[in-house]
Homo-oligomer: A and B are copies of this chain.
Amino acid sequence: MNLKELSHLLGLSQTTVSRALNGYPEVSEATRARVVAAAQKHSYSPNTRAQGLATGLSRCIGHVISVNDSGEMVNPIFGDFMAGAGETYAAHGYDMMVTRVGQADEADIYRNLKARGAVDGLVVHAPRKNDPRLPLLTEIGLPFVVHGRSTGATVDYSWLDVNNRRAFRDAAAYLTSLGHRRIALINGQEELDFAIRRREGFEAALAEAGIAVDPALMARGEMTEDYGHACAARMLDAQDPPTAFLAASIICASGVRRALDERGLRPGADVSIATFDDCLSYFGNGSTVPVFTAMQSSVRAAGATLAQMLLDRIDDPTGPHQQTLWEAEFVIGASTDKVKD
């Protein structure tokens, strides 16, 4: 069923039917009602591609997930982010496209997305320091918003970020206030901007407490459960082990916890763990009392909000950039306690 057939059926022109369906005022309400009913009855929906060709818009948003060439790590927050963003898109009649890309051909992919007119805009995930994507996208004129920020960016851009520096500073300060002085940071990959900020926050808190940073207590890497476990195991088995851990994600933290359990150490009572919590739907932080002391911020909410920011930007590509900083909520759970001596 297409426009032509439908308009024939109704004895109207394609113009009128199109206008009736798209809410233009030049068509009488009686006609509109008749058209809408017929469209419903014959389950007519305009062909996406034809509509896009005619309007010059794709009504589609791109999400480029970069897969680093070495590992084949998929970001665990991806699903929840998409669920949040998808809600917003659906409400505005947008589709959502996902493109996988290695880092080698990164620029090509973005250029291609633009050249093909495949998307009207896109969300930049996992921004790095001096991320080359921001100037690139600005140059080729593809509207975008960034989940996070990029230190050293030479262009202005829209972003939504969590105050990672503050969150980690506060969490580390909380641990020092409990008397901990051997605090380990199990950080994400420090190519990523948020990980840099987290480290800075961590170091600031230590400095404030007059504690020297110990490189042996700072790890960086892909935030898997196994990574959390391996780092914690190594540190706990070393001489002068940490009495507290600061983990980059609840999945990491769960690996840290496993390392404690293996050694007969109880989280909280023996060794403290604090973690960042993205509020993943499949990995909550306990239902009643929080399992982990955590800095939490919903990645799903971030997805929904960023999607809205992007749609706004597509509506008005020359308007001012929206820049939003969320504070993580700090909750105290069962995994931290005064240092044991």
Q: Which residues of A pack against B, CB within 8 Å?
A: 1, 43-50, 52-53, 58, 60, 65, 67, 71-76, 78-80, 82-83, 86-87, 90, 95-100, 111-112, 115-118, 222-226, 229-230, 251, 254, 257-258, 261, 280-284, 286-287, 291, 300
Contacts and interface: CB of A to CB of B under 8 A. Distances in A.
Contacts of A115: 1, 43-45
B96 A99 contact: yes
Contacts of A67: 83
Contact of A96 (B97, B226, B230, B284): B97
A97 B45 CA distance: 18
Contacts of A43: 111-112, 115
Contacts of A53: 47, 49-50, 53
B225 A283 contact: yes
Contacts of A229: 286
What 9 A-B pairs come out closest when comparing CB atoms? A86-B100, A45-B115, A49-B52, A74-B79, A78-B79, A76-B282, A49-B49, A48-B116, A226-B284
A258 B254 CA distance: 9
Chain copies in complex: 2
A190 B132 CA distance: 47
Given A117-B48, A223-B282, A90 B96 contact: no
Contacts of A87: 100
A300 B72 contact: yes
Given A97-B95, A100-B86, A226 B79 contact: no
Contact of A83 (B65, B86, B225): B65
A72 B282 CA distance: 9
Given A75-B282, A90-B100, 18 more contacts: A1-B115, A43-B111, A43-B115, A47-B116, A49-B50, A49-B58, A53-B53, A71-B281, A74-B80, A76-B282, A79-B79, A82-B100, A83-B100, A95-B97, A223-B282, A224-B281, A226-B286, A251-B283
B97 A97 contact: yes
